[in-house]
Structure 1
Amino acid sequence: KKAWQDHKRECKCLKSCKPRYPPDSVRLLGRVVFKLMQETPSESEKLYSFYDLESNINKLTEDKKEGLRQLALTFQHFMKEEIQDASQLPPSFDIFEAFAKFCGGGFSNGNSFEVEKLLESFS
């Protein structure tokens, strides 16, 4: 029951974009955003902050940056039912930088097993 609140929001987003479902990395970032938008994090969530992760944007190739830009556009389309504009995102949240934090680290683009494990941890 507790997880339904998170799943309900994601489900609404998934329904809005069918039959073209987003890649796992977009769904993962959606779950991260929903967690960041909650007012009080759980004890385990207080240990590490998403904002503490490094994006290493300056080390990314132009091809990788273009791929992240495409993911950011896909994310905006996916989340349109829940977030209509950037002012609804958590404070100081940047979609491109957020993707760079975990996609730049190798979680996406060829490592779908890692993304699946992360998705499960947000369930």
Structure 2
Amino acid sequence: MRTFLTLFIALTLGLGWGLAARAEGFLGVYEDLPLAPGLTEVEGSGLSFDSPGGRIVEGYATGAVEAAEILKFYAATLPQLGWARDSDTLYRREAEVLKIDTEVDGGALAVHFTISPE
């Protein structure tokens, strides 16, 4: 399934289809989580490991954008990638939960992505 999603994302970005086409790239620690326009991943700040209950992933990005725009991007994009929206900041796919936390830090928006088992 992950191979299919990766191929779908690559085709979507390459052909300019859908909202995911406006992504700024993908989170380095999680290959199929796009970065919203205006966000830059904080290099070396993420982590990814497997636990007995499933994998745990954390990633960080910053940008001079509004939190509402970031959450709007993910609300439109993540369902295309198989994530079901529970709220503006919480999504579920298969046995994983994605949480998106935003905070203004020194005039820039800091975004913390957490993926964990349900």
TM-score under structure 1 normalisation?
A: 0.37
Structure having the higher helix fraction is 1
Structure having the higher strand fraction is 2
TM-score under structure 2 normalisation?
A: 0.38
Higher relative contact order (CA 8 A, sep 6+): 1
